[in-house]
Amino acid sequence: MVAAPERARLDGARVSAAPEPTRLQRRPLMVVIGVALVAAGGVLGLWLWASASTASEVVAVRADLQRGQLISVEALTTVRITLDPQLRTVPGAELETLVGKRAVTDLAAGTLLSPGQVSDQVVPQLGESVVGIPVAPGLMPAEPLLAGDTVRLVHTPGQAGEVTVAPVTVTARVLTVTAGDTHTVVDVVVSSDQAAELAARAATGDLAVVLDSRER
């Protein structure tokens, strides 16, 4: 038989030797966390896949365009974006078909292009001509001219002249404006029967530009 003191010592050893909870006993919690992370990853992946599958490639404006300006390939780009079905856009595959057309409205860089914002209208049309007008500083408004503006070209009497009769005026439509070192060249569209006289007056350098109302 084992003496009482010895038995007490053995029982105490058994109690002190009892193993602490092992990692195996704590694994169920890690398994639950792992399953949750996998599920979250699956949901995120599904959302990304759904977003990518519903996105469309459309044409966007890369550089600012003024109304009436000729559209170059450098002015356009394509973007992939999820769109509202009611939004009218131009498919990315049709980008090349827009090159050479003209902007109907002013278009800022980053704008998604819609079919109604471009036109294949030929300029000048039948019965029209384009005349370049060199305009000296002080003979055009400080307000920047835009393509499509209606202007009146007024033949001035010169610096030393006097206005004794009503000045000759020609109504025209602005096509482009190009700033130069000494003059600004304004290309305007006029009727073909006015083109020759306007070109002759433009050569004198005495044409002033009057910007008329932009209200339509």
Give pLDDT tens digits for 104-154.
888 899 999 988 888 887 778 889 999 999 999 889 999 999 888 999 999
pLDDT at residue number 48:
54
Q: What angle do CA 203, 207, 212 make, to 5 degrees?
A: 140
Q: What is the share, in percent, of the chain residues with pLDDT greater than 70?
A: 72
Distance from first CA to last CA of the chain, Å, rounded? 118
The residue-averaged pLDDT of 180-190 equals 92
For the chain, list the domains and their CATH numbers.
56-119 (3.90.1210.10), 128-211 (no CATH)
DSSP string of 6-32, one letter each residue: HHHHHHHHHHHTPPPPPHHHHHHHHHH
Q: Which two tokens stand for residue 215?
A: 């209200």
The model carries a pTM of 0.55
pLDDT at residue number 63:
92
Give pLDDT tens digits for 86-101.
778 889 899 999 998 8
Strands (E), 21-113: 56-61, 76-81, 102-103
